[in-house]
Amino acid sequence: MAEQRKSIHGQWTNRTVFILAATGSAVGLGNIWKFPYIAGENGGGTFVLVYLLCIALIGLPIMMAEIMLGRRGKQSPINTMAALAKDEQRNPGWVWLGWMGVLAGFLILSYYSVIAGWAMSYVFRTGGGLFLGVTADGVNSIFTDLVTDPERLMAWHTLFMVMTMIVVARGVKHGIERAVTYLMPLLFALLIIIVIYSVTTGHFMEGVRFLFTPGKIDGKAILIAMGHAFFTLSLGMGAIMVYGSYLSNKHSIAQASILIALADTVVALLAGLAIFPIVFANGLEPGAGPGLIFQTLPIAFGHMQGGTLVGVVFFTLLVFAAWTSAISLIEPAVAYLVENKGVNRIYASVWIGFLTWFVGLGTVFSFNIWKEKTLTIPFLFEDLTFFDVLDYLTANIMLPLGGLFIALFAAWVMKEKSTREELATYPWLYKIWNFLTSFVTPLAVIVVFLKAIGVI
Ligand code: PHE
């Protein structure tokens, strides 16, 4: 049973490596690219507050549940769900939760890779001195030039997918460890440098006010804030579960989860503090959408001392942050193929990588030749492009739904004896976790869903 299981894919060297890898998965484009632009589109203040509440009350308990399921099952999320349902003598149908996660990861990576490609191309744009002394209009047209050129986007997307496949083919452990140990702290430091620049713009407090002053919010924005809590913590699709399956049994899951969530949140808030003062100082639009960081940060790099170097290093680190997230997005699928089809990691990574790349072309075209092709689904969304639809379906529906069922499985389907074995290092913490996952977390997710479609 659970106690004797061993992962066939290996184990993290120690707890720190697990925390680093999970933080590598959590910290990515979600924090630096997505958080600022959706906070901007949804009016700041209240949106940020709802997001923070969701991290604490929904994200953290689900992260603990996901790591726990992974560590007990010791396999890809699909096989883990099957094995745990069997251990607990429950309905084998729970395996669908693993499948939905694999699908979500695959869809997310398809567009994630395209955006990571933008970041890669910005390493070179910054390095070439393109932004020296640039104006807001200048950065805008440089960004538009890039995204309206499908060939260039495709080339960068291809390169990023190949990079991801290489790491995944080698096994997640090699490569990840070093990348996160050195690069994450550096990313942190650089964000602080940009925040310091933002203080000098004279509009810092305006940025702070935008991010932290509550205002009005509607059901749709609440759903987006909650969806983002899942997205940014890599929850609800098995990424954290599969990383948990490589974790040895002796470590405290609660402590690790708190550290991961904290690091992730601090990076997002720093990104917000770096970006919004620049937005206001230059009369830009906070709701500019997915291009926001590409239309603001270059202004900072173009005007600060040593900005070219800071900019090159910053975008390089952003690519690394995206890379360590991307590998966790396909690891569940690759682990499954290796377990069930008897193929090796290289074969599995190449196939899944190729399929992901292909679906990613839809996102490439969303910013140019398919820009006008949009979809409306009544009650849910209006006029979204292919990219927007994928983003909406995965972050706002699939991940919260996956997370909801993970919480329900951990709290109601597994026996208390099993969850205690995994989580009761601190009995009082276990009690809080049990209460949250049994009632608060599932109810919160359901209420947000109902509110978003206007039922309540
Ligand atoms: N958490 C990552 C980010 O914020 C994205 C991600 C989502 C990674 C889901 C894995 C699983 O960029």
Pocket test for ligand 1, best of 328, 334, 356, 394 (most atoms within 8 A of CB): 328
Query: What is the rounded average pLDDT of the residues 22-36?
Result: 96
Give the C-alpha distances (Å, rounded to integers) separating 451 from 192, 240, 380, 446, 454: 37, 28, 11, 9, 5
Ligand 1 atom closest to the Cα of residue 321 is: 12
pLDDT over 90 at 352, yes or no? yes
DSSP state of 7: -
Structure tokens at 437: 């996952």
Average pLDDT, the chain: 94
DSSP per position, 78-115: HHHHHHHHHHTT--GGGHHHHHHHHHHHHHHHHHHHHH
For 376, the 3-state DSSP assignment is: strand
- Confidence category of residue 266, pLDDT binned at 50, 70, 90: very high
- Confidence category of residue 206, pLDDT binned at 50, 70, 90: very high
> Domains in the chain: how many in total?
1
- Confidence category of residue 433, pLDDT binned at 50, 70, 90: very high
For residue range 55-102, what is the model confidence (pLDDT) as tens digits? 999 999 999 999 999 999 999 999 999 999 999 999 999 999 999 999
Q: Is the distance from the beta carbon of residue 237 to the nearest atom of ligand 1 less than 6 Å? A: yes
Pocket test for ligand 1, best of 25, 51, 323 (most atoms within 8 A of CB): 25
Per-residue model confidence (pLDDT) at position 148: 97
Per-residue model confidence (pLDDT) at position 97: 97
Query: What is the rounded average pLDDT of the residues 185-192?
Result: 89
Q: How far apart are the first and last CA of the chain?
A: 44
pLDDT over 70 at 182, yes or no? yes
Query: What is the rounded average pLDDT of the residues 313-322?
Result: 93
Choose among 89, 93, 66, 91: nearest CA to 399.
Answer: 66
Choose among 403, 398, 401: nearest CA to 436.
Answer: 403
Per-residue model confidence (pLDDT) at position 251: 83
CB 253 within 8 A of CB 117: no
Give the C-alpha distances (Å, rounded to integers) separating 211 from 54, 180, 219, 255, 405: 16, 28, 19, 28, 31
Q: Is the distance from the beta carbon of residue 30 to the nearest atom of ligand 1 less than 6 Å? A: yes
Per-residue model confidence (pLDDT) at position 181: 76
Q: Is the distance from the beta carbon of residue 55 to the nearest atom of ligand 1 less than 6 Å? A: no
Phi and psi at 189, nearest 5°, equal: -60, -45
Ligand 1 atom closest to the Cα of residue 31 is: 4
pLDDT over 90 at 173, yes or no? no
Q: Is the distance from the beta carbon of residue 31 to the nearest atom of ligand 1 less than 6 Å? A: yes
- Confidence category of residue 273, pLDDT binned at 50, 70, 90: very high
Residue 434's CB is within 10 A of a number of other CB atoms, namely: 18
117-140 b/e with 16+ CB inside 10 Å = b?
bbbbbbbebbbeebbeebebebbb
Q: Is the distance from the beta carbon of residue 325 to the nearest atom of ligand 1 less than 6 Å? A: yes
Is the torsion defined by CA of 174, 258, 58, 183 positive or negative?
negative
CB 65 within 8 A of CB 81: no
- Residue 43 sits in a domain of what CATH number? 1.20.1740
Is the torsion defined by CA of 290, 295, 297, 298 positive or negative?
positive
Strand 375-377, strand 381-384: pairing:
antiparallel
Query: What is the rounded average pLDDT of the residues 24-53?
Result: 96
pLDDT over 90 at 30, yes or no? yes
pLDDT over 60 at 295, yes or no? yes
Choose among 204, 193, 206, 238: nearest CA to 94.
Answer: 238
Residue 52's CB is within 10 A of a number of other CB atoms, namely: 16
Q: Is the distance from the beta carbon of residue 418 to the nearest atom of ligand 1 less than 6 Å? A: no
- Beta partners for 377? 381
- Beta partners for 77? none
Q: Is the distance from the beta carbon of residue 329 to the nearest atom of ligand 1 less than 6 Å? A: yes
For residue range 322-332, what is the model confidence (pLDDT) as tens digits? 999 999 999 99
pLDDT over 60 at 2, yes or no? no
Question: Which residue range(s) make up the domain with 411?
Answer: 2-452
Q: Is the distance from the beta carbon of residue 25 to the nearest atom of ligand 1 less than 6 Å? A: yes
Choose among 401, 412, 455: nearest CA to 437.
Answer: 412
For residue range 334-350, what is the model confidence (pLDDT) as tens digits? 999 999 999 999 999 99
Give the lowest-confidence range in 97-106, 183-192, 358-367: 183-192
- Confidence category of residue 175, pLDDT binned at 50, 70, 90: low
Q: Is the distance from the beta carbon of residue 261 to the nearest atom of ligand 1 less than 6 Å? A: no
Pocket test for ligand 1, best of 100, 234, 356 (most atoms within 8 A of CB): 234
Q: Which residue has the higher pLDDT, 456 or 230?
A: 230
